[in-house]
Structure 1
Amino acid sequence: MNLNGKVAYITGGSKGIGYGTAKILLAAGMKVAISGRTLKSVQEAAKSLGNESNVLALESDVTKHEDENKAVAEIINKWGQLDVVLANAGVGNFAPIDQMTEKEWHDMINTNLNGVFHTLKASVEALKKSEGYYITLASLAGTNFFENGAGYNATKFGVVGFTQAAMLDLRKYGIKVSTIMPGSVATHFNDHTPSEKDAWKIQPEDIGELVLDLLKMNPRTLPSKIEVRPTRPDLK
């Protein structure tokens, strides 16, 4: 894919992996739309990315199909095409299953699982036209279960299965579909504040570089599921 002038849409793009990926794609010559639930925070992120003519800030709650439809329509209206989608928005609530509330469970299902469906449904026709790329951000929690992670595991196992099946459905249209499954990443996820103590972790821009590598790969080849983890664990 010749990336210069291509258009990407990143959900959950105001910070963390979404923001880091936006920086990398912009530097590669792409135009990038980022979305989040709060327009002010997305606008602030878009401003800090610079190059305002190539950045679009969108308010969208991925749990609502109509929001994602509107977001994609705004992208098409502004730039006339959509080539790459990174379904990155996600939440995590961690507790023993007997203590997890229904709200915590449904928040994760609605954002992590329903969200990737809504984003794909909203963008799939545009991606057919561009023979584009749809990428979901899953997790190593999508293949490795752990204590206090029943809800999160359920959503990320679901994202992996959804993405792999969608890949089989959509490749006949020339659409490439992949899921990225990171381990520990230095982000604000689960109310964490990144610091120097997170230097051993994957950095958000590292995932952005991985996305860029996928986009640059020969179109005959599709890495459909990618596990990525820190090279060395926290040595403390």
Structure 2
Amino acid sequence: MDLKNKVAYITGGSKGIGFGVAEKLLKAGMRVAISGRTLKTTEQAAQYLGDSQNVLALESDVTKLSDEKAAIEKILDTWGQLDVVLANAGVGHFAPIDQMSDEQWHQMINTNLNGVFHTLKASVEALKKSKGYYMTLASLAGTNFFASGAGYNATKFGVVGFTQAAMLDLRKYDIKVSTIMPGSVATHFNGNEPDEKDAWKIQPEDIGELVLDLLKMHPRTLPSKIEVRPSRPDKK
């Protein structure tokens, strides 16, 4: 894919992995729309990205299909096309299943799982026109279960299954579909404040490089499920 002036949409793009990917795509010459649940946070992120002509800040709650449809419409009204979508928005609550609240369970299901469906449902016709690329941000928790992770595991296992089935549905339209499954990443996820203690982890910009690698791959080849983890564990 020639990336110059191609248009990407990243959900949850105001910080963490989404922000790191946005930075890399902009440097590669792309136009990037980022969304979050509040316009204030995405506008602040857009200012940090520093390329006002090629960054579009959007407010969208991925748990609502109507919000995602409105976001896609705004992107098309602004730039006339959509070539790459990264469904990145996600939340995590970790507790033994007997202590997990109904609210925590449904927030994860609605954001992590329903959200990726809403993002694809809203963007799929535009991606058919551009023969574009749809990516989801899953996790190694989508294949490895762990104690206190029942809700998070359920959503990420679901994201992996959803994405792989969607890949089979959409490749006849020349839409490429992949899921990225990171291990430990230095982000604000689950209340973490990234600092030197996270230096051993994958950095958000590393995921950005991976996304670029996928976009630049020869169109005859599709890495449909990519596991990525720190090269070495934390030296405690």
Calculate the TM-score normalised by the size of structure 1.
1.00
Alpha-carbon offset, residue 150 of structure 1? 0.2
Alpha-carbon offset, residue 51 of structure 1? 1.1
Aligned AA for 1:55?
V
Aligned AA for 1:145?
F
Alpha-carbon offset, residue 201 of structure 1? 0.1
Q: Provide the rounded CA distance (Å) in 1 between the counterparts of 2:223 and 2:51.
A: 31
| Structure 2 gaps, min length 5 | none
Percentage identity across aligned positions? 81
Aligned AA for 1:19?
F
1:53 aligns with 2:56: no
Residue in structure 2 matched with residue 97 of structure 1 by the alignment: 97
Q: Provide the rounded CA distance (Å) in 2 between the counterparts of 1:111 and 1:231.
A: 29
Residue in structure 2 matched with residue 147 of structure 1 by the alignment: 147
User: Where do 4+ consecutive residues of structure 1 move more than 6 Å?
Assistant: none
Q: Provide the rounded CA distance (Å) in 1 between the counterparts of 2:154 and 2:41.
A: 29
Q: Provide the rounded CA distance (Å) in 1 between the counterparts of 2:148 and 2:105.
A: 12
Residue in structure 2 matched with residue 207 of structure 1 by the alignment: 207
Q: Provide the rounded CA distance (Å) in 2 between the counterparts of 1:156 and 1:144.
A: 10
Residue in structure 1 matched with residue 116 of structure 2 by the alignment: 116
Aligned AA for 2:43?
Q
Q: Provide the rounded CA distance (Å) in 2 between the counterparts of 1:104 and 1:7.
A: 34
Q: What secondary structure is seen at the aligned counterpart in 1 of 2:117?
A: helix
Residue in structure 1 matched with residue 189 of structure 2 by the alignment: 189
1:86 aligns with 2:86: yes
Residue in structure 1 matched with residue 32 of structure 2 by the alignment: 32
Q: What secondary structure is seen at the aligned counterpart in 2 of 1:223?
A: coil
Q: What secondary structure is seen at the aligned counterpart in 1 of 2:145?
A: coil
Q: Provide the rounded CA distance (Å) in 1 between the counterparts of 2:233 and 2:219.
A: 34
Q: Provide the rounded CA distance (Å) in 2 between the counterparts of 1:232 and 1:10.
A: 29
Q: Provide the rounded CA distance (Å) in 2 between the counterparts of 1:100 and 1:124.
A: 34
Alignment of 1:56-71 (within 5 A): 56-71=56-71
Alpha-carbon offset, residue 169 of structure 1? 0.0
1:9 aligns with 2:34: no
Q: What secondary structure is seen at the aligned counterpart in 2 of 1:193?
A: coil
Q: Provide the rounded CA distance (Å) in 2 between the counterparts of 1:126 and 1:47.
A: 27
> How large is the Cα RMSD of the aligned pairs?
0.3
| Structure 1 gaps, min length 5 | none
Residue in structure 2 matched with residue 126 of structure 1 by the alignment: 126
Calculate the TM-score normalised by the size of structure 2.
1.00
Residue in structure 2 matched with residue 159 of structure 1 by the alignment: 159
Q: Provide the rounded CA distance (Å) in 2 between the counterparts of 1:161 and 1:41.
A: 31
Q: Provide the rounded CA distance (Å) in 1 between the counterparts of 2:52 and 2:224.
A: 32
